[in-house]
Structure 1
Amino acid sequence: MTLNYDLFWSFRSPYSYLVTSRLVAMERDYDVKCNVRVVYPIAVRQPEFFDNSDPLWFTYLAKDTYRTAAFLGLPFHWPRPDPVVMDFATRKYPKEQPYIHRLTRLGQVATEMGKGLAFLDEVSKVIWDGSVIGWHEGDHLANAAARAGLDLAAMDVIAARDAERLDGIIEASQVAQREAGHYGVPMMAVDGEPFFGQDRYDQLEWRLKLKGMQKRG
């Protein structure tokens, strides 16, 4: 019997990128299905979230993401440009965001096409692995989509045409995320049990094995 788990995931989350390759490998090796549920990052959902955050929150994040990537053997660099535009002088997030809405809607379109996890994996590499400056330009995203077995031009048509419908699904995923027990990403949930953070991957795999997850034959 194929087991299922939900994945709440954001294109602006470095930790989402850092866990994705392990989720891809698990689905390749085990009889398990990842239900991708893309969400908008907290900076878009609640831009005031960071107004009163301790400055150490940012400095620790910067150190930990590079350290975690090195520990996992993954290339990493903060994206150029950032998927969510921020005024670093004021630490404010302007309402107009040129990248994140398209990315998130494309993630939902890919999910509806049955290739959500592959799309997240390929696109997050282009954004986060440091190999590209200007990931939003040229054919970087189109090539990433193609590696996932998708046509970016066709996806963009759907994302623009169905923006309101897609945002409704994304909003429902954000509600389900909190109902499962946390607001952050990446968060995996198995039968309503939350596993928040890339560092909970091992516990996710352990729980799925306890529930009967078997290796593919």
Structure 2
Amino acid sequence: MASALNFYFDFSSPYGYFASTRINELAQKYGRRVDWHPFAGAPLKPLNSGTSLVHNPAKKAYTERDYVRTAAFHAIPFKLPTLFPLDTRYASRATMWVESTQGEDKGIEFAQAIFKAYYVNDLNIGDPAVIVTIGESIGLNTEQLTAGMHNSFTKEQLRAEIDLASAKGVFGSPFVLLDGEPFWGFDRFDQLEAALKAKA
């Protein structure tokens, strides 16, 4: 069986959200599966030489326009969140805990629910209580999820994931590795599909 696509994403990235709505379908089309890797992007940002949106008003204005335009072009439900960007460490930890204890499929379902909560329903996913409520909505045990999100093992797991992502050259969201070949950005999905097709 062909190797999985490695999909790295930060919940605070709208482009990561857009990618999350397409990546599984794209992979399945070419007989692949997807390993989802959530990370909290702040530790990776020093590796990126680009200017942050916070410090570049022109870039911020353009990018916010582009989020809306991209979502409309691809018919993806989207609303720029009131709190944007925000700390996604709890969302990432919780997703990793679900993946490791409830299985990959449940982890993906949870990640997709978090993305929807943030970019469609405008919920504050930086609040651990909101993350727990999202988990409850898909049938997760709230006490176990709360404990899992805060335990030291999950915290170390997230740190290790960020270190591994950095070692593989990941510097933004979304970031996809296809047999080691990197594709950064939702706007590279046409090239990703071309590469998948060539390898099929």
Interval containing the TM-score (normalised by the shorter chain): 0.7 to 0.9
Letter in 2 for 1:107: T
Quote the sequence identity (%): 24
Letter aligned with residue 156 of structure 1: T
Does the 8 Å contact 2:53/2:59 carry over to 1? no
Separation in structure 2 between the aligned mates of residue 187 and residue 8 of structure 1, nearest angstrom? 5
Shift of 1:22: 0.6
Shift of 1:120: 1.6
SS in 1 for 2:173: coil
**CA-CA distance at 1:149 after TM superposition:** 5.8
Change (3 A) 1:36 1:181: same
The aligned residue for residue 56 of structure 1 is 58
Contact 1:8 1:37 in 2 (8 A): yes
What is the CA distance between 1:21 and its match in structure 2?
1.1
Contact 1:80–1:135, Cα closer than 8 Å, also in 2 = no
The answer to whether structure 1 residue 186 and structure 2 residue 145 are counterparts is no
Task: Judge conservation of contact 2:44–2:171 (CA < 8 Å) in 1.
Answer: no
Q: Does 1:175 align with 2:163?
A: yes
User: Is the aligned partner of 1:111 residue 2:99?
Assistant: yes
1:191 to 1:171, Cα distance in 2 relative to 1, 3 A: farther
Compute the TM-score of the two structures, normalised by the length of structure 2: 0.79
Q: TM-score, normalised by structure 1?
A: 0.74
Given residue 109 of structure 2, which amino acid in structure 1 is its aligned partner? A
In the alignment, which of 133, 151, 174 is matched to residue 161 of structure 1? Answer: 151
Residue in 2 aligned with 1:6? 6
SS of equivalent residue, structure 2 residue 35? strand
Counterpart amino acid of residue 74 in structure 1? I
SS in 1 for 2:114: helix
Distance 1:65 1:116 in 2: 25
Could you tell me which amino acid in structure 2 is paired with residue 77 of structure 1?
K
Q: Which amino acid aligns with 1:145?
A: G
In terms of fraction of residues, the more helix-rich structure is 2
Unaligned 5+ segments in structure 1 are: 85-98, 213-217
How many residues are matched? 194
**What stretches of structure 2 of length at least 5 have no aligned partner?**
none
| 1:69 pairs with 2:71 | yes
Alignment correspondent of 2:16? 16
64, 80, 83: which one aligns with 1:81: 83
Summarize the Cα distance change of 1:205–1:148 in structure 2 as closer, same or farther, 3 Å threshold: farther
- Partner secondary structure for residue 32 of structure 1: coil
Q: Secondary structure of the equivalent of 1:194?
A: strand
Q: 1:122 to 1:52 in 2, by over 3 A?
A: closer
Residue 143 of structure 1 deviates from its aligned partner by 6.3
Measure how far apart 1:155 and its partner are.
1.9
Across the aligned residues of Structure 1 and Structure 2, the Cα RMSD in angstroms comes to: 3.1
- TM-superposed CA distance for 1:36, in Å, is 1.4
- SS of the residue corresponding to residue 3 of structure 1 reads coil
- Deviation for aligned residue 1:121: 1.4
CA shift for structure 1 position 50: 3.4
